[in-house]
Amino acid sequence: MRIRRLKDGGHRPAPMAKYLGGEAENDRRRAALNPIRALYHTQRWRELRWQVLLEAHFRCARCGRGHPTLTPACDALAPLGRLSSVKGKAPDHVADHITPHRGSEALFWDRSNLQCLCAACHNGAKQRAEQRDRPVPGDPGR
Ligand SMILES: [Zn+2]
């Protein structure tokens, strides 16, 4: 799928703009430059990410490391059919796109293309491998 063309023809903010506004402004600007980034801020993504992490019991698909509290909770509640009652934030866990979506919404939303990684694995070897392939400016991969 093609990335939608920016309405303003891809206008980039003036260099000084980076000194104006806070983190929200930075997020907005990055989203404008890379439209698929905005999908990471949707409720649909938050729910999909959580489903991926829950089903993996917050165990990293690479190193096997689990979350100290959420992994035991998942292990205990999943056999009772109560996995969905596990709550938390787990900012140190990532729903990772196995095949980099590279702006493809189909790959972005494909449940079978998502795996649970710990932040260390996600930010380490995998990111370096992707950057060797082709850098994706501003894409956090979350
Ligand atoms: Zn890991």
Please give the residue that has the higher pLDDT: either 16 or 50: 50
Cα(59) to ligand 1 centroid in Å equals: 8
Cα(93) to ligand 1 centroid in Å equals: 9
- Residue 26 is assigned to a structural domain of this protein: no
Q: Is the dihedral of CA 114, 112, 89, 104 positive or negative?
A: positive
Q: Give 96-132 pLDDT, tens digit per residue.
A: 999 999 999 999 999 999 999 999 999 986 666 666 6
- Residue 98 is assigned to a structural domain of this protein: yes
Cα(21) to ligand 1 centroid in Å equals: 34
- Residue 114 is assigned to a structural domain of this protein: yes
- Residue 40 is assigned to a structural domain of this protein: yes
Count of domains in the chain? Answer: 1
Give the angle subtended at the CA of 5 by the CAs of 21 and 20, to the nearest 5°.
10
What does the pLDDT read at residue 35? Answer: 82
- Residue 11 is assigned to a structural domain of this protein: no
Structure tokens at 69: 């509290």
Distance of CA 78 to the CA centre of its chain: 24
- Residue 95 is assigned to a structural domain of this protein: yes
- The answer to whether the predicted template modeling score (pTM) of the entire model surpasses 0.75 is no
Cα(16) to ligand 1 centroid in Å equals: 38
The mean of the pLDDT values for the chain is 83
Where are the strands (E) in the chain, listed by range? 93-97, 114-118
Domain that holds residue 51: 34-133
- Residue 10 is assigned to a structural domain of this protein: no
Give the confidence band of 23 by pLDDT, cuts at 50, 70, 90: confident
What does the pLDDT read at residue 121? Answer: 95
Please give the residue that has the higher pLDDT: either 64 or 33: 64
Provide mean pLDDT across the span 45-61: 98
Please give the residue that has the higher pLDDT: either 11 or 68: 68
Q: How far is CA 131 from CA 32, 34, 60, 102, 122, in A?
A: 21, 16, 21, 12, 12
- Residue 140 is assigned to a structural domain of this protein: no
What does the pLDDT read at residue 71? Answer: 98
